Amino acid sequence: MAAPSAAGLGRRLRAWLPRMVQVRWSRYSPSYLEPEAKKELYEKPLEELTEEEKEKMELKAVQPIKAAPPTLSSSVFNDPMISKFTNMMMKSGNKVLARSLMAQTLEAIKRKQLEKYHKAPENEKETIECNPYVIFHQALKNCQPIIGLSNITKGGKTYQVPVPLKDNRKRFLAMKWLITECRENKHRRTLMPEKLSQELLLAFNNEGPIIKRKHVLHKMAEANRAYAHFRWW
Amino acid sequence: MAAPAYPAWVTRWVSGQWRNKKRPPVFRPSRPLALADKVANRREQAAEATCITEMSVMMACWKQNDFNDAACAEEIRMFYDCVAKAEEERKNENEDTLSSRGNLPSSKVNKLLKRFPQITRYV
């Protein structure tokens, strides 16, 4: 008698306090499938599909599909990393501004690289990378820390223990460092695309303050390597 | 005459232990002598940290090459592989199999024992 009333109470409480209770799980039932955005999958003729793909297609005829989020797109220009970065740059929901800043950043990178390309002598022209997307991805990859520190309390004292990081966490840290570096440590009058393009080009060449911050983190992890046994996972 | 070999009960009777209530222990169990259907709650020991050797090798390489990632690419790759493997194992172990140390936690043992209880009486 206590168990069903407790569950009912919880639901009623959650309905009454919609913003004060954490609602982080998905409202979809587990039978709902993810929407598929890639056009190539639909253009393939039936014979070329593998067994699992055929099964998936049959399942789609029967199971319901979740609503597509606005960021999901089948365009060739859609890049999940760039979308994530734009969302992190966005302030108070101003996606228009964040997207335009991102576009201006990529344009600025392209301009700088083209300038370097045209000034360079013939033999060096192949080494200069002009594709801003390639530069963006490589710079982010160079900024990702390999090992992180986490606070573990043992015997009343908190220690900084070196800990392996998940991929999502690494990407998040790289993007966060990039954005905070550009927002705080630059001259007030420089615009964000200018600052970002500068930082991205430096990170692409493994120089600059963000790479330095990553090295500082690695050095601290290396100094604290004796505490690595405090981990239990 | 050598030491006479009396039976043991004679020696005991003569020494008066029986009259002083030093009798052989008679065991009268209060509950039936059968194993219970549960194990005592034991605090599970924390597992060890994984990938420590790979991490130390990578850090030694860093120290030599001044924290340059390109020079230590092989060690970093090995560290990532080890981390991925440990993560995979951790995901797969949360079932009814033994943990990495080779022992089951007491809650799982209790669940299994409850499925196959001790039969104390026959009908």
What pLDDT, in 10s, does the model give residues B89-119? 888 877 767 777 778 888 889 999 999 998 8
Three-state secondary structure call for residue A1:
coil
pLDDT in tens, chain A (233 residues): 445 555 555 556 555 555 556 567 888 998 999 998 888 888 877 777 778 888 888 888 899 999 998 888 888 898 999 999 999 999 999 999 999 999 999 999 999 999 999 999 999 888 898 999 999 999 999 999 999 999 999 999 999 999 999 999 999 999 999 999 999 988 888 999 999 999 999 999 999 999 999 999 999 999 999 999 998 88
CB of A231 within 8 Å of any CB in chain B?
yes
Share of chain B above pLDDT 90, in %: 33
**DSSP code, position B19:** T
Distance CA B89, CA A63 (A): 32
Structure tokens at A15: 């309905």
- Our measurement of the distance from residue A98's CA atom to the centroid of its chain's CA atoms, rounded to an integer in Å, reads 15
Give the residue from chain A lying closest to B52, CA to CA: A228
Residue B23 CB contacts under 8 Å (≥ 6 apart), including other chains: none
Instruction: Answer yes or no: are the C-beta atoms of A104 and A193 closer than 8 Å.
Output: yes
Q: What tens digit of pLDDT does each residue of B27-43 get?
A: 898 988 888 899 999 88
Q: Please, is A27 exposed, middle or buried when counting C-beta atoms within 10 Å of its C-beta (0-12, 13-18, 19+)? A: exposed
Q: In B, which residues are within 8 Å of A146 by CB distance?
A: 58, 69, 76, 79
Q: What is the predicted pLDDT for the residue at B84? A: 95
Q: What is the predicted pLDDT for the residue at A7? A: 52
Q: Who among A221, A228, A232 is closest to B47 (CB)?
A: A232
Three-state secondary structure call for residue A154:
strand
Over the range B22-39, which residues count as b (16 or more CB within 10 Å of their CB) and which as e?
A: eeeeeeeeeeeeeeeeeb
CB of A212 within 8 Å of any CB in chain B?
no
CB of A142 within 8 Å of any CB in chain B?
yes
Q: What is the predicted pLDDT for the residue at A125? A: 87
Q: In A, which residues are within 8 Å of B76 by CB distance?
A: 146
Q: Of A111, A104, A110, nearest to A132 (Cα)?
A: A110
**With the C-alpha atoms ordered A193, A199, A200, A202, is the resulting torsion angle positive or negative?**
positive
Report CA-CA distances (Å) from A226 to A161, A207, A221, A222, B55: 8, 29, 9, 9, 11
